[in-house]
């Protein structure tokens, strides 16, 4: 049973960079938690603090029952998969897998049993005699995972393990990691800057920005109810449309916004958000309470099954993107209207960037 | 690595450009080397009045000369000690500097200084430090109960030139070791730390194996240095003595030529040394061409 708990954890690097500013998290036993955020937000730092590779400036980290602040990495019963795999280049795959077990003075037959088992699970049994340089990127990735699995640790830590693979392999390995983690049931913390990876892998996502937690939630919660402007713009691809509300209303770029569909007491600098995939071009399926956006087409991005229409809101009130199923050719300059249902709208206070809900909206 | 190809329009310009280099090599290396080989087949009387062709006789004398054979052993011991000590100390320093690196520019400057000191000066420096009457190092050794005297003791004399020679080489070795250690990704040692390897285990099982190409390269460089570049140190301090206890090969070459005035014999010794350096260099090139072996 391994839960990981972070209590007000902070990290200041020598030189004064405050990489982590008071993070608290409860990671459940067997949970797959994904830390996501833009480059430099402190994801690796936080993971390395859990691993014991960085000191903890303030706060407390516990793994299982133990506070691990002052424990060496080797004493924390965790295994880490590094972005560059960190395989020992002068050792064979088998030696790579055995290294941590031998250092722990495990019995020979137990080591052999674990290596065979891990090699079987990962399909690298034929590669055991090879050196890392004789492996493809995907195979190295598997060996790196193998090195973590043989340890049978209390928790796995992953730091962008897929970012060196090509797009297709990345999707495949993503599925494998997910499957593996489910079947082993080992608590895992996974760092990525790829929000798609976060959405598909996570039991829960932690969105990190500038060393602070913006939101913690299941992928669906984070997608459907982003807690802040930052999360709204970070999660979802293409990004959510964010429009200055007052300006759009004054310039008549938005129609159909009745008082009931807008939270009361919004400040004048409030921002309205709506996802491209929640909008439809034209009047198809528009309900009686539909909200309309008027815009001029500037470009069309066709990605095969669907197209993204980019445009300027009427009166220059902001940019907007709308998804259309199928392939479309629209001339720049075409004036269009897109509709959405009022419950698909998100509102954020301008100054703080915090989400503001409509009264009576479902929590 | 790919090098840029430059195409010269004129045919003779490239030759003109490398001419100075060729000239220097010819004047300072090829010509003396040729002279040495030529001389090694001749015998001159002590006054340089008569010269005769003696074939391989000089080499035959070498093989049968107990003094020369002793000098060979002395050189081997000396070179092994110099290479071993200078590399050992340099590696220790490099490992420590690697730990604190980011701020290591200071150490780097400090440690490169000895290399800028000419061998003879290095020799004299240590010569004074260990001078039995006025040397501070000899004084402290005496306080510790050791009577240091490199005029009387062959071991002390050997220790003196080994220290002087090794000291000068530490900085050079340090830079290579440090660069080699820096080239090992930090995540490797981190992964090893998570794999329950302590600092010593990490050094022996991860860092040192990955450093082996550097170790080999430096071994050859240091041997070549100890074999050939230490004349100044010996000449300025022990002059081969006491007895012949520190008469290494390069020193013998010089002594037989300029004190013994036996040019042919000295030339034959130079040719042997030349063969050794060529062999060492060849091994090095072979190895480096095969690239890092792990
Ligand atoms: N060793 C260090 N010394 C000083 N500052 C550091 C150090 N490592 C990281 N930082 C700083 O801490 C902040 C967080 O870095 P971190 O590596 O955790 O980011 P990240 O979220 O993992 O980014 P990326 O997605 O690019 O890997 C950055 O501002 C970075 O410059
Ligand atoms: Mg990172």
Task: Please write the tens of the pLDDT for every residue from A140-187.
Answer: 989 999 999 999 999 999 999 998 888 888 888 899 899 999 989 999
Compute CA A338 distance to the chain's CA centroid, rounded to the nearest angstrom: 29
Cα angle A296, A299, A304; round to 5? 125
Residue reference for tokens 């260099």: B281
A99 vs chain B: nearest CA distance in angstroms?
A: 7
pLDDT of residue B174: 87
Instruction: Report the alpha-carbon distance of residue A171 to residue B110 in Å, rounded.
Output: 52
A249 Cβ contact partners less than 8 Å away, ≥ 6 residues apart: A257
Instruction: Report the alpha-carbon distance of residue B163 to residue A224 in Å, rounded.
Output: 73
What is the sign, positive or negative, of the torsion defined by CA atoms of B263, B264, B267, B268? negative
Token readout for A6 is 């972070």
Asked whether the ipTM of the predicted complex exceeds the cut of 0.95, the reply is no
Whether the Cβ atoms of residue A242 and residue A317 lie closer than 8 Å to each other: no
Residues recorded for chain B:
294
Residue extents of the structural domains in chain B: 66-293
* A73 part of contact set with chain B, CB < 8 Å: yes
Whether the Cβ atoms of residue A148 and residue A80 lie closer than 8 Å to each other: yes
Residue A73 Cα distances to A4, A70, B226, angstroms = 15, 9, 44
pTM (predicted TM-score): 0.79
Instruction: Report the alpha-carbon distance of residue A73 to residue A155 in Å, rounded.
Output: 12
Q: What is the pLDDT of residues A27-68, one digit of tens each?
A: 999 999 999 999 999 999 999 999 999 999 999 999 988 899
First to last CA, chain B: 19
pLDDT of residue B293: 46
**What is chain B's pLDDT, residue by residue, as a tens digit (294 residues)?**
445 566 667 778 888 888 888 888 788 778 877 877 877 777 776 666 667 777 777 777 877 888 888 888 888 999 999 999 999 999 998 888 887 764 445 555 665 666 666 666 777 777 778 777 777 787 887 777 777 777 777 788 888 888 888 888 888 888 888 888 888 888 899 999 999 888 889 999 999 999 988 888 888 889 888 888 787 788 877 777 787 777 787 787 787 777 777 777 788 888 888 888 888 888 877 776 555 444
The four Cα atoms A230, A234, A235, A237 give a dihedral, to 10 degrees, of: 140
- The dihedral region occupied by B261, where left means phi > 0, alpha psi between -120 and 50, and beta the remainder, is left
Secondary structure class of B141 (helix, strand, coil): helix
Residue reference for tokens 């004054």: A250
Give chain A's mean pLDDT.
89
pLDDT of residue B104: 47
Atom 4 in ligand 1: residue holding the nearest Cα: A13
**Helix H or strand E segment including A171:** helix A167-184
Q: Which CATH class is domain B66-293?
A: mainly alpha
Judge whether residue A321 has pLDDT over 70: yes
pLDDT of residue A6: 93
Q: Please list the residues that pair with A36 across neighbouring strands.
A: A192, A207
Q: What is the pLDDT of residues B144-156, one digit of tens each?
A: 777 777 777 778 8
Residue A257 Cα distances to A134, A220, A363, B199, angstroms = 62, 26, 21, 66
In chain A, which among 135-174 make CB contacts under 8 A with chain B? 147
Pairwise CB contact (< 8 Å): A86 & B195: no
Residue of B nearest to A71 (CA): B194
Q: Please list the residues that pair with A311 across neighbouring strands.
A: A297, A320
Nearest to B185 among A86, A90, A104 (CB): A86
A273 Cβ contact partners less than 8 Å away, ≥ 6 residues apart: A226, A229, A232, A240, A241, A242, A243, A345, A346, A347, A348
Q: Residue A320's closest CA among A254, A257, A222, A224?
A: A254
Judge whether residue A344 has pLDDT over 50: yes
Which chain B residues touch A52 with a CB distance below 8 Å? 194
List, in order of start, the domains of chain A with CATH numbers. 4-224 (3.40.50.300), 239-348 (2.40.50.140)
Q: Please list the residues that pair with B66 across neighbouring strands.
A: none
A41 lines ligand 1 (CB under 6 A): yes
Q: Residue A190's closest CA among A209, A203, A179, A171?
A: A203
Residues recorded for chain A:
363
């Amino acid at each position: 049973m391994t839960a990981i708990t972070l209590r007000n954890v902070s990290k200041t690097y020598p030189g004064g960079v405050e990489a982590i500013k008071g993070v608290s998290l409860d990671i459940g036993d067997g949970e797959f938690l994904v830390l996501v955020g833009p480059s430099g937000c402190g994801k690796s730092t936080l993971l390395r603090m859990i691993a014991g590779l960085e000191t903890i400036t303030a706060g407390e980290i516990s793994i299982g029952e133990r506070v691990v602040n002052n424990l060496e990495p080797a004493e924390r019963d965790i295994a880490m998969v590094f972005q560059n795999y960190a395989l020992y280049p002068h050792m064979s795959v088998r030696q790579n897998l055995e290294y941590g077990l031998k250092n722990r003075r495990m019995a020979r037959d137990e080591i052999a049993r674990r290596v065979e088992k891990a090699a079987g699970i990962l399909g690298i049994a034929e590669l055991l005699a090879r050196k890392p340089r004789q492996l493809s990127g995907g195979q190295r990735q598997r060996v790196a995972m193998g090195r973590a699995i043989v340890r049978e640790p209390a928790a796995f830590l992953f730091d962008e393990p897929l970012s060196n693979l090509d797009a297709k392999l990345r999707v495949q390995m993503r599925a494998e990691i997910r499957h593996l983690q489910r079947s082993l049931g080992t608590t895992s913390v996974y760092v990525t800057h790829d929000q798609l990876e976060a959405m598909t892998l996570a039991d829960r996502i932690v969105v990190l920005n500038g060393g602070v937690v913006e939101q913690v939630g299941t992928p669906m919660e984070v997608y459907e109810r982003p807690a802040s402007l930052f999360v709204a713009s970070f999660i979802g691809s293409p990004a959510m449309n964010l429009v200055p509300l007052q300006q759009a209303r004054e310039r008549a770029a938005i129609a159909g916004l009745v008082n009931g569909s807008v939270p009361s007491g919004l400040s004048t600098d409030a921002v309205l958000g709506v996802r491209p995939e929640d909008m439809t071009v034209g009047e198809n399926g528009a309900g009686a309470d539909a909200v309309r956006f008027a815009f001029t087409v500037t470009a069309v991005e066709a990605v095969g099954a669907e197209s993204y229409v980019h445009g300027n809101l009427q009166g220059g009130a902001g940019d907007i993107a709308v998804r259309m199923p199928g392939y479309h050719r629209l001339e720049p300059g075409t004036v269009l209207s897109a509709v959405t249902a009022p419950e698909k709208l998100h509102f954020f206070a301008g100054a703080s960037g915090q989400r503001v809900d409509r009264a009576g909206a479902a929590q | 690595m790919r090098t840029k190809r430059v195409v010269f329009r004129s045919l003779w310009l490239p030759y003109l450009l490398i001419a100075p280099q060729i000239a220097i090599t010819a004047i300072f290396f090829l010509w003396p080397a040729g002279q040495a080989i030529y001389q090694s087949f001749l015998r001159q009387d002590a006054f340089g009045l008569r010269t005769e062709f003696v074939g391989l006789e000089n080499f035959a004398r070498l093989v049968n000369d107990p003094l020369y054979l002793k000098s060979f052993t002395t050189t081997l011991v000396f070179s092994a000690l110099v290479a071993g000590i200078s590399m050992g100390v340099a590696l220790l320093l490099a490992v420590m500097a690697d730990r604190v690196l980011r701020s290591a520019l200071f150490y780097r400057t400090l440690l490169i200084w000895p290399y800028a000191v000419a061998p003879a000066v290095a020799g004299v420096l240590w010569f004074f430090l260990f001078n039995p009457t006025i040397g501070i190092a000899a004084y402290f050794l005496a306080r510790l109960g050791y009577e240091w005297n490199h005029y009387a003791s062959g071991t002390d004399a050997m220790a003196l030139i080994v220290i002087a020679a090794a000291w000068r080489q530490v900085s050079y070795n340090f830079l290579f070791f440090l660069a080699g250690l820096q080239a090992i990704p930090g995540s490797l040692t981190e992964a090893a730390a998570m794999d329950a390897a302590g600092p010593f285990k990490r050094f022996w099982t991860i860092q040192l194996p990955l450093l082996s190409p550097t170790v080999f390269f430096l071994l050859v460089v240091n041997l070549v240095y100890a074999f050939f570049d230490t004349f100044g140190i010996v000449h300025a301090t022990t002059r081969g003595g006491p007895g012949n206890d520190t008469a290494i090969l390069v020193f013998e070459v010089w002594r037989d030529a300029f004190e013994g005035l036996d040019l042919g014999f000295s030339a034959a010794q130079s040719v042997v040394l030349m063969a050794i350096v060529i062999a060492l260099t060849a091994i090095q090139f072979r190895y480096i061409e095969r690239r890092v072996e792990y």
